[in-house]
Amino acid sequence: MIKKEDPIKTDVLVLGSGIAGLSCAIKAAEGNLNVIVATKDFPKESNTLYAQGGIAAAVDPDDSPESHFKDTIKAGDGLCNENAVKVLVEEGPERIRELISFGAEFDKKAGVYHLTKEGAHSLRRILHSGDATGKEIEQTLIKRMAITPRIEPLAYSMGIKLVIINDRCVGAILLDEKRNSLIPIKCRAVVLATGGAGRVFQESTNSPIATGDGMAIALDAQIEMANMEFVQFHPTALHLKNAPRFLLSESMRGEGAVLRNVKGERFMEKYSDVLELAPRDVVARAIVTELKKDKAPHVFLDLTHLDPDFVRNRFPTIYATCISYGLDITKEMIPVHPAAHYIMGGVKTDLDGRTSLKGVYAAGEVSCTGVHGANRLASNSLLEGLVFGHRAGKTILEDALSMPKKFEKEIKRNIKIPSLEVVNEIRKQTASLMWQGAGISRNGSDLENLFAELLNLEAIFGEPPFERRARETWNMIQVGKAIAVSANYRTESRGAHFREDFPDKDQLRWKRDTVLIYREGKYIFK
């Protein structure tokens, strides 16, 4: 077992234990590297665990990587990295087969995998395990990690800072939550696989741990970030009083659920020829338009016309969750409202997970491979984590970085931390400000005001705190500022990024990534 009081040496440090981090760790360990998988919570807690709908891949004989490629490019609204998309769709089926060989079970019908359809897909290609696909994948990879030699899990240890010497990362500093102490780790490679930042927004489907920690670490280390303005808002999150914003999978619409306004009218025909299966940004904005028009708190997702037994069997987790709040979805329409769900931007990487800082790699939602462009195609996120996590592990083996000779672990640690009550209030204000200023619909004035307000909240801390909840809140502010400045910089509307003051797409100026570096208090766009 790891003795946390001693400096730790390993080959690879993976921050995060979702699908990307575990895929990377397993591949690196199979190549005889020693790997520590550090997570700030218990190992299974990640956005992967809560992914419902499924994982997209061209595994059906009637499907093809070419078709999957076309759908992904179309959903990305002109901003996808085509080479990255080719990697995703061509390597995806192989990674799925490997996952199945590890023990993952997906739903079958008459001995054949049952594939469902989601928004912007041209045909059924989504493998699923009921409505808890992420849980099945996460459990499978956790079990695989447990039997893979050379992998050491390190729970309740939050990555807070990279150690950099001579323009190379030589390790990282972790915060031991239980002991409230620092853990220095010296290594050949650090992998950022910390997931997304959905909790930066007041309305979010994400796990409570999704506070943008890896993105904040990268910003602090002056690593290039890309497309931070592109945040996907899932159209259908449960909107009941005193209930969490529980995700209602897009596969519900793929199986026939329809959207209705408070008058009971089906409205998507006014916004898209493919109705409820339009890309997520189209559906989310359509819902917001209906809410404003009717001055309503929510719209409804209606499955009451579907066979009750089918609904209960196909969506057991969603059915049980809604029942626990007194709502029978086989008989009653579900109140829904858009919520922050996924960020397409993040730490900029090449096709092999390398970042702009030697020794640092990134994979999964924390990264920006360019696969998703301006708007992620449904169920491509788990596939991205699987494919590019594996590639990052393989690349670390190929790069064969030497163990750094020097490691400076001293770090200034502040003693004064705002009280828990103050921290919680800052956290609440941050999420509220982000929802109001950088939500589904944006404008320059609101974004500038948002940035100023976030600076005020940051000033209450003074400097980065060394306590988990306070550090998470600090990270939310850092990521929020990056989103705000990037959204203000991109003066057009594209995909999930909608500007009221620039409602049109500008192909001449903006068919390119927004690349950002945070240096000495300034945001520099490349």
Contacts of residue 372, defined as CB under 8 A and 6 or more positions apart, other chains included, come to 72, 75, 76, 80, 230, 344, 380, 381, 384
DSSP 179-224: TTEEEEEE-SEEEE-----GGGSSSB-S-TT-S-HHHHHHHHTT--
- Please, are residues 197 and 478 in contact by the beta-carbon 8 Å criterion? no
> Amino acid identity of 120?
A
38: left (phi over 0), alpha (psi -120 to 50) or beta: beta
Tokens of 229: 């303005």
CA distance linking residue 289 with residue 311, whole number of Å: 29
Residue owning tokens 């509307």 = 493
Residue owning tokens 């969750």 = 321
User: Is 280 labeled as catalytic in the residue annotation?
Assistant: yes
CA distance linking residue 185 with residue 10, whole number of Å: 7
Catalytic residue among 125, 144, 199, 280: 280
CA distance linking residue 407 with residue 16, whole number of Å: 22
- Distances 224 to 460, 492, 515, 517 between C-alpha atoms, Å: 27, 22, 7, 5
CA distance linking residue 360 with residue 416, whole number of Å: 31
Number of H helices, E strands in the chain: 15, 22
CA distance linking residue 461 with residue 426, whole number of Å: 10
Burial tier of 232 (Cβ tally within 10 Å: 0-12, 13-18, 19+): buried
CA distance linking residue 314 with residue 251, whole number of Å: 10
Contacts of residue 523, defined as CB under 8 A and 6 or more positions apart, other chains included, come to 481, 482, 485, 516, 517
Q: Which of 346, 482, 288 is nearest to 47 (CA)?
A: 346
- Please, are residues 361 and 190 in contact by the beta-carbon 8 Å criterion? yes
Q: Which residues are bridge partners to 522 per DSSP?
A: 519
Helix (H, G, I), strand (E, B) or coil at 419: coil
Q: Which of 441, 446, 503, 482 is nearest to 229 (CA)?
A: 482
- Please, are residues 36 and 185 in contact by the beta-carbon 8 Å criterion? yes
Which H or E run includes 4?
none
Q: Which of 85, 93, 103 is nearest to 127 (CA)?
A: 93
Contacts of residue 214, defined as CB under 8 A and 6 or more positions apart, other chains included, come to 15, 16, 159, 192, 193, 194, 195, 346, 347, 362, 366
Residue 459 phi/psi, 5-degree rounding, is -65, -25
Residues annotated as part of the active site: 280
